[in-house]
Amino acid sequence: MAVYTRLGAEEMARIIAAFDVGTLVSAKGIAEGVSNSNWLIETQCFDASKRFILTIYESRTEIGDLPFFLDLLDHLAARDCPVPRTIHDREGASYRLHQGKALALIEFLPGVSVSEPTPGQARAVGEALAQVHLAGRDFPGRRANGMGRDAWKQLLGDCGREGLAALDPGLPELVERELALVTSEWPAHLPHSVIHADLFPDNVLMLGDKVTGLIDFYFACVDVTAYDVAVTHAAWCFSADGRHFLPQLSAALLEGYQSLRPLSADERTALPLLARAASLRFLATRAYDWANTPADALVTPKDPLAFARRLAFYAQDCNAGLFA
């Protein structure tokens, strides 16, 4: 949501010159991505105008993880998934170092992020997610889920019972019960693959009902494939505040996904638990950010209760048949 690194035009032109993409014509810092600096870049190459996103990775992205993220984009793009390609520099590298920070140049894709998805759009997102899971099967990269169960425990533990109770008096008990359940019943036997792990509407570019780009793969990792379905379900099938489940979007998302990759019986059985896990994951980061954002900060943290409500929804017995 901010541009952290300041870059003069001359420096930007030198950075762009390391890539075979023509001459710099425009560079606008864009308010996208929560932890990196991003610019929308335009170049002129012979008579054609080309556009790219330049990302400078700030402290929250490990440089050691970049080959995984960037090679994954190339792998998926080569298999016709709607993801941006990485532009390699003149020496063939997918990222460069600039004053101690890594930077990458990535293809610009058209499209906008919807905030009131239609069933047609949810269906298309389900399909695109399945496409990624299938295309990722032969991706050789490995990265553990940095935002897995251990991280949730840590973040929620840091909030403390008082911190959680300040959000909602019933929250400490809910969190304790669900964390224990998800930990003891985690379906480690299910198929694993590359997963996006953060496929919110913000990270999907669309034109009408067509997905033009899945972006922001910086939580991507290898984990239980069906967990990614659960994350995407939690991200798309509720009103933003979590108060209203949207059954038409749910049906469309699952139908779109299964049109390309039918879920196994074991996966369908595990999905209610995985959806509770996905809710806990976003509850954990949001509750932590809520407790750790200064009162006068420019950025308002997102409401943790929006995911506490999803968690409570998925935990109801009457909703166990949702993924059947």
Interactions with a copy of itself, residue window 288-307 (CB under 8 A): 294, 296-299
Q: Is 17 in the site for a copy of itself (CB under 8 A)?
A: no
Q: Is 104 in the site for a copy of itself (CB under 8 A)?
A: no
For 232-242, give one letter per residue: b (16+ CB within 10 A) or e.
bbbbbbbeeeb
Closest CA to 197 of 152, 165, 156: 152
Q: From CA 224, how far away is CA 283, in angstroms rounded? A: 20
We find the least distance from the C-beta atom of residue 292 to a copy of itself, in angstroms, to be 12
**Is the Cβ of residue 85 or residue 88 nearer to a copy of itself in the bound state?**
85
**Is the Cβ of residue 54 or residue 194 nearer to a copy of itself in the bound state?**
54
Closest CA to 224 of 252, 261, 186: 186
- Residues contacting a copy of itself: total by CB under 8 A: 35
Q: Is 59 in the site for a copy of itself (CB under 8 A)?
A: no
We find the least distance from the C-beta atom of residue 111 to a copy of itself, in angstroms, to be 6
| Segment lying near a copy of itself (by CB under 8 A), choices 2-10, 125-133, 144-152, 243-251 | 2-10
For 232-288, give the DSSP string.
Answer: HHHHHSB-TTSS-B-HHHHHHHHHHHHHHSPPPHHHHHHHHHHHHHHHHHHHHHHHH
| Segment lying near a copy of itself (by CB under 8 A), choices 72-80, 106-114, 155-163, 188-196 | 106-114
Q: Is 97 in the site for a copy of itself (CB under 8 A)?
A: no
Burial of 298 (0-12, 13-18, 19+ CB in 10 A): exposed
We find the least distance from the C-beta atom of residue 101 to a copy of itself, in angstroms, to be 17
**Is the Cβ of residue 170 or residue 208 nearer to a copy of itself in the bound state?**
208
Contact 43, 111 (CB under 8 A): no
Q: Is 90 in the site for a copy of itself (CB under 8 A)?
A: no
For 253, phi then psi, to 5°, come to: -60, -50
**Is the Cβ of residue 144 or residue 299 nearer to a copy of itself in the bound state?**
299
Q: Is 265 in the site for a copy of itself (CB under 8 A)?
A: no
- State CA 246 to chain mean position distance: 21
We find the least distance from the C-beta atom of residue 11 to a copy of itself, in angstroms, to be 8
Residue 107 neighbours by CB under 8 Å, 6+ apart: 52, 53, 77, 84, 85, 86, 87
Q: How many residues does the chain have?
A: 324
Quote the longest CA-to-CA distance of the chain: 63
Q: Give, in order, the Cα–Cα distances in Å from 110 to each of 22, 127, 171, 214.
A: 20, 19, 41, 11
> Which of 112, 158, 170, 183: binder of a copy of itself (CB under 8 A)?
112
Q: From CA 306, how far away is CA 288, in angstroms rounded? A: 14
Binding mask 177-196 for a copy of itself (x = CB under 8 A): --------------------
Q: Is 18 in the site for a copy of itself (CB under 8 A)?
A: no
Interactions with a copy of itself, residue window 199-218 (CB under 8 A): 205-207
> Which of 30, 134, 165, 174: binder of a copy of itself (CB under 8 A)?
30
Contact 106, 66 (CB under 8 A): no
Q: Is 2 in the site for a copy of itself (CB under 8 A)?
A: yes
We find the least distance from the C-beta atom of residue 44 to a copy of itself, in angstroms, to be 8
Q: Is 8 in the site for a copy of itself (CB under 8 A)?
A: yes
Q: Is 26 in the site for a copy of itself (CB under 8 A)?
A: yes
Residues that bind a copy of itself (CB under 8 A): 1-3, 8-13, 24-32, 40, 42, 110-116, 205-207, 294, 296-299
